[in-house]
Structure 1
Amino acid sequence: MVLNIPGLIAMLGFYAAILATGIWASKKSKAKKTTGTMTEVALLGERSINLAVGIFTMTASWVGGGYILGTAEAVYSPNKGLIWAQMPLQYAVSFIVGGLFFAKPMRERKYVTLIDPFQIRYGKIMTVLIVIPALVGDMFCLACSLTALGGTFSTIIGLQHGYSVMISGAVAIIYTLLGGLYSVAYTDVIQLILIFIGLWLCVPFILLNPIPLDISITAFNHTYQPPWLGQLKTRDISFWLDEWLTIGLGALSFQSFQQRNLSSVSPATAQITCFAAAVLSVILSIPSTLIGAVAASTDWNHTGYGIPSPYERKEAPIILPLTLENLAPSYVSIFGIGAITAAAMSSLDSYLLSSASMFTSNLYKNIIRKKASDKELQLVIRITVVVAGLIGIALTFIDNSIIFFWILSSDMAYCVILPQLICVLFSDISNNYGAVVGFVLSLLLRLLSGEPLIGLPPVICFPGGEIFDDVYIQPVPVRTIVALFSLVCILLVSYIFAYLFRHEILPKRWDVFGVAKVTIPTLDNQNSIPTSLNDADGESLMMSSDVTKS
């Protein structure tokens, strides 16, 4: 493959601009520090992210490389189509639900991370249990963003996938290290602008290319492949619904989503940010949808790509850069490179900081080294960012499907974390017993239900399913069943154990979590965090003294 020198120069220029912004933001973060520690500034920007920047960074965090390329991949794929390109509407719903129900309580209680409610209420055990799937989900998201970058650069620029991934990962790691949330937030502003301008500049050239058929016709009529609107077969309805809910509601359980709410200047700002991001995320999906439709309407034998088609070569995950390369002028496709790169980088840095926040705040500070200094915590943040980046890079060599990583990350968040988050935030009943039992049983049930994406055969086969391509298709929305099962299990087991111990049906000496003698945590006052329930060791949240001052 010939190296595209103009494209390579454009890529390097973009990265130079992002690094410059990151350096500027790092200086701003140091100057901004007033009452909080530098660690708090790094993780939350001292809770001073205003509405405009908040909207940009919230939207950019989710309109990433997986979002842009995954939407085009779904629209183009003959066995999917537009009806399977669910991410735009899913995230819109997620932002709306998050704004209505989650943003306000999370920001009002001034948590530092998504894990804080669990650490305050349950203590060490559940903190560790919840952090593990949260970190694993972030690693899958990192791999998703890096896969998008690698596929784009190898297609349009001619740079090998491995080199593309490593260069992109290194740039994101560097500017995240420099300024923490400030670098992430302010680079997101530039990245979102590039996404919008870059993709929309490419769309007219692709639509006016004489090779593809009219997408308004191919949306309904069979040409080179099934209509790009797609179809939903009866046997796929449960899977479609399950995937819709998994990605849509699963996003609520990501630290990167809650981190934007927690860094806002006020609860009201956090809510408005979510609602605005819902609208912008849908708007930003339109170019990807159009490009995917054009790709589905193209006879690739008439392009420089030749035959077989991208789908037959298993290159559907990079159909967007392939379309730019073959149906748009080279000078125009460079803008597409910038857009895809900006999208992937905007999510990549979010997941790096997300992982560092949870590990540093909830594991290192509150469990491993309770007396760690602020300087030590900053070092841990930097090390975690680097390690997380390296793991994400390594995962990209396992699979090249963007949707693969996206679904797996959302799976962890939806089935395991979301039921726990709902209970700890909105239920007075839940306790350690219910949380631990719900966690273990939901994880076990999910594994036994199988997952075709990773070749995991089901042990539990719900009646009414069928075998398709040697894979048993479950007739029910498995992930949603697991999530609901976990929710009910947490509440029911919590109530039973609390009743048994408080009425001394079971000896109180067996009450290892002390649910018989605790009360529901309440806010000491409007500007303080909830008191701990089961913290026998006197754990406290990282920066809690600084949080109550802000």
Structure 2
Amino acid sequence: MVVNVPGLISVIIFYFVILVIGLWAARRTKGETNSENVMLAGRDIGAFVGVFTTTATWVGGGFINGTAEAVYSYGLVNCQAAVGYALSLVMGGVFFARRMREQGYVTILDPFTRTYGERMGGLLYIPALMGEVFWSGAILAALGSTLRVIVGLSHEVSIVVSASIAVFYTLFGGLYSVAYTDVVQLICIFIGLWLCIPFAMTNEFVENISVNSSTEWIKEVDPVFAGVYIDSFLLLIFGGVPWQAFFQRVLSARTAGIAQGLSFAGGLGCIIMSVPSVLIGAIAVNTDWNRTAYVTRDNLNVSEIAERSSDILPLVLQYLTPEWVSFFGLGAVSAAVMSSADSSILSASCMFARNIYKMAIRKKASEKEIIWVMRVAIVGAGVLATVMAITVKSIYTLWYLCSDLVYVVLFPQLLCVIYLRASNTYGSLVGYIIGMFFRIAGGEPSLGIDVLIKFPYYSVKNGQLFPFKTLCMLMSFTSIVFVSYLTDFLFKKNILHPRFDIFKCVTNKRPTDVELTKYKAKPEETFVNPSFVNSAEEIRARR
């Protein structure tokens, strides 16, 4: 494929702008020796930047490309991710944002580590890491497909270069760079895509999208897949809550009230930003592709478009808008990807540096050491996301899968650790194992995982038709509650001897955050585990 030089130049310009803004924001962390300030921008994110960066929790390359792909392939009614993720921000604001911010947590794993211990926190890092890697992969894959179609660059080169730049400025700027590039990202998406839509919609080869819209691109839910539909919608809403990328933003807010308000504003922002992608998907459905340059100039086969559904947004930009307009759309996608990839990469690295390295591997690590570990982890997370983006074909599949294990495993854990006072490590471990096992046993064709357990209504042709992911989540939640209360009862009634409390979470129960703030005695005389002494000192220092 011949490289489109003007298109390449426009991409370089947009990359340069994002890079400059990221490095400019990084100046605020120059000489910073406090790892928490790097991770949370000194908890100094105000309302204006906060609204943009919270909306950008989900609005990125995967969001705009995945929405267009879903509308084109399955219809608007079956495009659940945009609405589901928007509602997830609202739910996060209602139930978790204020509580998490008031407790002064730094990462989503903090309440798990403090309540269940470092080892359990390490286990819970696995689904959190996988979610961030899937999300970053979806974002990078979206840009790879766009640059391949419009500019002519290879898929692999586009992904590697984009990931490298995002990693570069995130290394130095932390959340400051992420937040300020998010502002530019949303502006570029809004202006770039809306500029393209009038040209695409009025193209001579595009029919009026309002004609037969209910059957052409809105469509309806197939009753056979009603269970899957409900399952997927619940997964997106509640599986979109326990994300470090989300909590990193709300925890960086100046006050708990602002943190909650940002969640609501972010949900509204997601809905608004999904509109242009929906329209692009509808335009693609109503296009006579046989008359476009896709066939007449490039001699490509129209029958292949269905197989290239993940490319549908860049195809519309390339073949249904003037060249100069498509470059603005390309800039929108490029900017969106760059400043979304950095967010997930930073989230994964922050959790590793604080909750794995500092609390489980090297408790006496200095702040400077933690910052450097975070930077190394940023590179590692970037590499994992790059590999995932290159190997998985469908953007929407990656976008959808990123909330899968988060929903089944992390959501019930977060619900219990925040709201269930008797929740303990035994319940958490059992719930983790049960949720993980039954979800994997349900199979996942897109990742090549065979079905081990056939839930009700299973069919060879359509796979699992029962809402089994929600069932797995409820089984995990029920296990946490039952085992936590059972072990609490057995130990406190002396039915089981205290020496059997191997996790020291019932008879030698870890102090709550409230107890830690009131702690006045000498640490070594009260708590056995020194990591919780550190937690007490950290909380006192923050407050």
Q: Does the alignment reach a TM-score above 0.5?
A: yes
Could you say which TM-score interval applies, normalised by the shorter chain? over 0.9
Q: In structure 1, how many angstroms separate the alpha carbons of the residues matched to 2:458 and 2:518?
A: 51
User: Any idea what the Cα deviations from partners look like across 1:226-279, whole Å, max 9, x if unmatched?
Assistant: x11122111111111111111221111110001011100010001111111111
Q: Which residue of 2 aligns with 1:537?
A: 529
Q: Which residue of 1 aligns with 2:494?
A: 504
Of 92-101 and 67-76, the range deviating more from structure 2: 92-101
**How far is the alpha carbon of 1:52 from its aligned partner?**
0.7
Q: Which residue of 1 aligns with 2:245?
A: 256
Q: Secondary structure at the match of 1:220?
A: helix
Residues 54 and 262 in structure 2, CA contact (< 8 A), matched pair in contact too: yes
**How far is the alpha carbon of 1:17 from its aligned partner?**
0.9
Q: Which residue of 1 aligns with 2:184?
A: 190
1:74-473 to 2 correspondence within 5 Å? 74-77=70-73, 80-221=74-215, 227-306=216-295, 308-309=301-302, 312=305, 314-468=307-461, 471=462, 473=463
Q: In structure 2, how many angstroms separate the alpha carbons of the residues matched to 1:311 and 1:58?
A: 37
RMSD: 2.1
Q: In structure 1, how many angstroms separate the alpha carbons of the residues matched to 2:538 and 2:483?
A: 36
Q: In structure 2, how many angstroms separate the alpha carbons of the residues matched to 1:455 and 1:546?
A: 44
Of 240-249 and 150-159, the range deviating more from structure 2: 240-249
Q: In structure 1, how many angstroms separate the alpha carbons of the residues matched to 2:154 and 2:456?
A: 46
User: Any idea what the Cα deviations from partners look like across 1:340-391, whole Å, max 9, x if unmatched?
Assistant: 1122222201011101100000011111111111221111111111111111
Q: Secondary structure at the match of 2:294?
A: coil
Residues 116 and 541 in structure 1, CA contact (< 8 A), matched pair in contact too: no
Answering whether residue 55 of structure 2 is matched by residue 56 of structure 1, we say no
Q: Secondary structure at the match of 2:529?
A: coil
| Identical pairs, percent | 42
More helix by share: 2
Of 205-214 and 341-350, the range deviating more from structure 2: 341-350
Q: In structure 1, how many angstroms separate the alpha carbons of the residues matched to 2:124 and 2:213?
A: 43
Q: Which residue of 1 aligns with 2:541?
A: 549
Aligned residue pairs total 534
Distance 1:409 1:544, change over 3 A: farther
Q: In structure 1, how many angstroms separate the alpha carbons of the residues matched to 2:23 and 2:260?
A: 29
**How far is the alpha carbon of 1:514 from its aligned partner?**
2.7
Q: In structure 2, how many angstroms separate the alpha carbons of the residues matched to 1:407 and 1:89?
A: 13
Q: TM-score scaled by structure 1?
A: 0.93
**How far is the alpha carbon of 1:547 from its aligned partner?**
5.1
Residues 295 and 319 in structure 1, CA contact (< 8 A), matched pair in contact too: yes
Residues 441 and 452 in structure 2, CA contact (< 8 A), matched pair in contact too: yes
Residue 468 of structure 2: which of 478, 489, 506 is its match? 478
Distance 1:543 1:329, change over 3 A: farther
Q: Secondary structure at the match of 2:253?
A: coil
User: Any idea what the Cα deviations from partners look like across 1:21-61, whole Å, max 9, x if unmatched?
Assistant: 11211112338x6xxx4312210001000011111111112
* Paired letter, 1:266: T
Q: Which residue of 2 aligns with 1:224?
A: none
* Paired letter, 1:50: G
Residues 123 and 539 in structure 1, CA contact (< 8 A), matched pair in contact too: no
Q: TM-score scaled by structure 2?
A: 0.94
Q: Which residue of 1 aligns with 2:483?
A: 493
Q: In structure 2, how many angstroms separate the alpha carbons of the residues matched to 1:492 and 1:175?
A: 46
Of 296-305 and 535-544, the range deviating more from structure 2: 535-544
Distance 1:168 1:547, change over 3 A: farther
Of 66-75 and 92-101, the range deviating more from structure 2: 92-101
Answering whether residue 520 of structure 2 is matched by residue 524 of structure 1, we say no
* Paired letter, 2:383: L
Q: Which structure 2 residue ranges, 5 or more long, are not aligned?
A: none
